[in-house]
Structure 1
């Protein structure tokens, strides 16, 4: 019998596992996908090899790449960009780690309070989460992004928008700034050369400016795993969890089992309560099934898989909100074509941003060439100048919004990607019950019923739509002022990358699944610690940092409620994940 079972080793699960293991608890961490213990031996920088959703090493599928990817049903024109494997979707995230906007928390009474989805606010004040933000920021660590040419171009335009530079972790007003990201700053020869012989650890440390964030991080060459530049959880929290006895006085190493797809959460009745008691999981390599029991079960499979597992296990859903409220930042893309070199292929892929609290955010976005072409062709508006599907919005961008193809695409990419600056639009997306995850009517696979993602015809609230249009126009204005000679807007079909809220915590038991401690309202000893636990879309900021801060808080609640521990975040000092004791123990 374990103390705690954590299901999912993505952005949130390893946080809970590491924190509880540091206090000596027996933690089992189960991950459906593979564990790449030596990425340099398993990965490449080839885009199709990495990102092909059917065969890439970064996909939602088993470790054996000769086997098909796992099925999901997406009835609308959309693309769920989520991964299986230790590190989850953080394996290819860009490390962006902004805090949420304050207007989405209980008790906010600022002059712009009506700009937020306060009906679905966090069930506690923003100030309560700040110590957990600080703990995660020190652990990863989160640092100000390294700057280069593309950031200079972005800031040149941002300055002309008439908004100030932001100098605090908390976003209090419209502003621009370097990203706070979970990527180690370049040191030594890193960022100063492209010669692989000079980019070896310890001569080079931190970000080597390779520009391949989307393909996972394995830089610098020969670095210990916990010194890889990008602080995805496979490089930070997972190594800490696996070596807890080496760096924590009370620590006990986490047991990690990859290729372990959880099929069912088990419960039993204890008096008047239903309580989680364990899980059954399937070894995806051998097909064998195993059962493990624990005092506490934590679900951290992500905003799509956690509700699928809940529904597939037949767990209670009396208010019908399991899987509902699926928010996704209603992304869009705008690209500027410049006559000067922008350095889009170099350095951290996203290192600059503008924030517009109550609306959302703009992020500079670097992409490798194939993904650049893919994103320029993902649209709800048809082909620019050919047909519009009834959309094709006109605005300050050149021509109508839509797919960039043919001669226009060739012109845009005539010098590869280093004459482009992309801006990713992140809206403050309102929670809506009709956007949800359900069990598909497709035949089940070897793991049971598969997930169906329903965006209800991509219907949005008026506020969400207005946010997107406002930000698209701001992005276009920024690129024009920075000197772009052409600006393209795509009107993206849903690229479901920042997804959250499908198992949301909240004030009211009428429209939430979790209470303020992230524990299920209907099943005792069952917690959620991934993006699905977020009560809303944070107003637009990237979700991983907030999920990890919330997961740290959830781990503290589990320790104090179930194992007699005492809170530590306000009194302790976090150990950085780059601590040499971790690399020595790996």
Structure 2
């Protein structure tokens, strides 16, 4: 019997596992995908090789990507879910952006704009309560001010010309712009100073080498130990710490990671009139054999789609009907500015500049290599720009109606991706109960009934739609002020990129699944350790840092409530994942 079992080795599971293993607990982590232990040889720079949803190495599917099909989800609307299987999970795709949530989405906020947020679905604890956990994660990853280049300077020029002030704190308190707080190591040595690949090897180069391929998972600089790779996706940060805990924590023990282990059921029993989690059942995706393991505590960290599927397939209690509901993102949109000057769009960290608008959301500059740039220009709810208007295309501060770009215009724009600046719109989205994960009536797969993701833009609240239009107008104004000769708006369809809240914590038991420490309301000893637990869309900022801070808070609560430990955030200092002892453990073969 284990102390703790964690389902999922993505953005949140390794956070919980690392913290508990470093305090001496026996932790088992189950990951449905493969372990990427040699990314320099397992990954590539080819965008289709990485991102193809059928056989890309970052698909959501089993390890053998050429012989076995991906795992299926039913999507009844025109949409696509950016999620993958494997160690590190969807943090392989993320750009390392690590802003804190807006204070207005927490229960203790009393600012004059307190009614501008989703006040019906606030976090059940205060923003000030979360700050020590933010600081803990920021020190562990670590989070630093992003390294910047030409595309960021173009974005800042537009913000300055609009009169936006610079935010010099980690807290978002007013309309402002700033460099990203980013979980990507600063370039050192030859990094960022040369294009000679032979000189971009560790230790001559350290940190971000400005390769521009953040979406493909980070293995830069070449030959660096795994925990010294530039982007702090969890398989470069928390996972190595989890697997070397006994080396750098005096009382620690190494957690165990099992790959190709698709969890199919949460095991429970009745104790004293309560339902209590007692373990997990999983299927080996390579052999088809089934296994079970018991534990004192179970943590779900499989993502916002798979967590509710597992809950429903396990027959766990759902008395208020909110399991899987509240599938919340940032109602995202995309604008592109075309410039007569070099912007360096394809170079450097993919997103290193942002502007925040409390009560509305945020916008952030994004740089992309050519294939991903083309992909963004083909996603639209508004028909074909200039050729086919389906009646939806909004008109505003951009050139003509919104819509996908095709033909000669597409060729002209893609002729030089380094003359473009992209802006991603991150809307403060209301929690919508009807956006949800349900069990599909389609035939089950080998792991049970498949999930049906019901997710629409058109049904969003009036406040969400207002926020999206406001932010698109602000993004267009920034591009115009920066000197763009053409500004295009895509009017993205539902593209769940930043997903939250399908097992949300909340202040009201009538519309939440978890209590204030992310423990299930109706199943004792069952916790959630990823974005599924978030109460709302954070006001618009990227969710990973907040999910990891909440997961750290949850791990501390597990340790104190069920294992008699003492709180640590007030009495200990966090250890950085860059610690030399972690490096030595990796070089000795603990990971990669």
Verify same fold: TM over 0.5. yes
CA RMSD of aligned residues (A): 0.7
Structure 1 stretches (4+) deviating beyond 6 angstroms? Answer: none
Please tell me whether residue 541 in structure 1 is matched to residue 536 in structure 2. Answer: no
Give a deviation string over 1:381-434, Cα, whole Å, max 9, x none. 00011222211111110010000111111111112x100000000000000111
Q: How does 1:377-526 map to 2 (within 5 A)?
A: 377-415=378-416, 417-456=417-456, 458-526=458-526
Contact 2:457 2:494 in 1 (8 A): no
**In structure 1, how many angstroms separate the alpha carbons of the residues matched to 2:494 and 2:508?**
29
**In structure 1, how many angstroms separate the alpha carbons of the residues matched to 2:406 and 2:268?**
53
Residues 473-482 or 380-389, more deviating:
380-389
Please tell me whether residue 276 in structure 1 is matched to residue 277 in structure 2. Answer: yes
Please tell me whether residue 18 in structure 1 is matched to residue 4 in structure 2. Answer: no
Contact 1:331 1:427 in 2 (8 A): yes
Please name the residue that 2:119 is paired with. 118
Q: How does 1:53-202 map to 2 (within 5 A)?
A: 53-66=53-66, 67-202=68-203
Please name the residue that 2:589 is paired with. none
Contact 1:76 1:457 in 2 (8 A): no
**In structure 2, how many angstroms separate the alpha carbons of the residues matched to 1:396 and 1:363?**
18
Q: How does 1:206-221 map to 2 (within 5 A)?
A: 206-221=207-222
Please name the residue that 1:41 is paired with. 41
Deviation at 1:160, TM superposition (A): 1.5
**In structure 2, how many angstroms separate the alpha carbons of the residues matched to 1:584 and 1:229?**
17
Deviation at 1:458, TM superposition (A): 3.7
> What runs of 5+ residues in structure 2 fail to find an aligned partner?
587-592
Please name the residue that 1:563 is paired with. 563
Deviation at 1:456, TM superposition (A): 4.7
Deviation at 1:153, TM superposition (A): 0.3
Give a deviation string over 1:427-465, Cα, whole Å, max 9, x none. 000001111000111100011111111025641000000
**In structure 2, how many angstroms separate the alpha carbons of the residues matched to 1:379 and 1:493?**
5
Please name the residue that 1:248 is paired with. 249
Please name the residue that 1:551 is paired with. 551
Give a deviation string over 1:363-389, Cα, whole Å, max 9, x none. 001111111111111000000112222
Residues 452-461 or 42-51, more deviating:
452-461
> What runs of 5+ residues in structure 1 fail to find an aligned partner?
none
Q: Please state whether the residue corresponding to 1:79 is helix, strand or coil.
A: coil
**In structure 2, how many angstroms separate the alpha carbons of the residues matched to 1:134 and 1:317?**
34
Structure 1 residues 458 and 502: alpha-carbon distance in aligned structure 2, compared to 1, 3 A threshold: farther
Give a deviation string over 1:166-192, Cα, whole Å, max 9, x none. 000001100000000000000000000
Please tell me whether residue 582 in structure 1 is matched to residue 585 in structure 2. Answer: no
**In structure 2, how many angstroms separate the alpha carbons of the residues matched to 1:508 and 1:350?**
36
**In structure 2, how many angstroms separate the alpha carbons of the residues matched to 1:494 and 1:432?**
14
Deviation at 1:107, TM superposition (A): 2.1
Q: Please state whether the residue corresponding to 2:337 is helix, strand or coil.
A: strand
Contact 1:307 1:323 in 2 (8 A): yes
**In structure 2, how many angstroms separate the alpha carbons of the residues matched to 1:435 and 1:345?**
34
**In structure 1, how many angstroms separate the alpha carbons of the residues matched to 2:109 and 2:390?**
41
**In structure 2, how many angstroms separate the alpha carbons of the residues matched to 1:89 and 1:117?**
26
**In structure 2, how many angstroms separate the alpha carbons of the residues matched to 1:276 and 1:81?**
30
TM-score by length of 2: 0.98
Give a deviation string over 1:70-93, Cα, whole Å, max 9, x none. 000111010101111110000121
Give a deviation string over 1:455-489, Cα, whole Å, max 9, x none. 25641000000000000000000000000000000
Give a deviation string over 1:525-565, Cα, whole Å, max 9, x none. 00001101000000100000000000000000000000000
**In structure 2, how many angstroms separate the alpha carbons of the residues matched to 1:49 and 1:413?**
20
TM-score by length of 1: 0.99
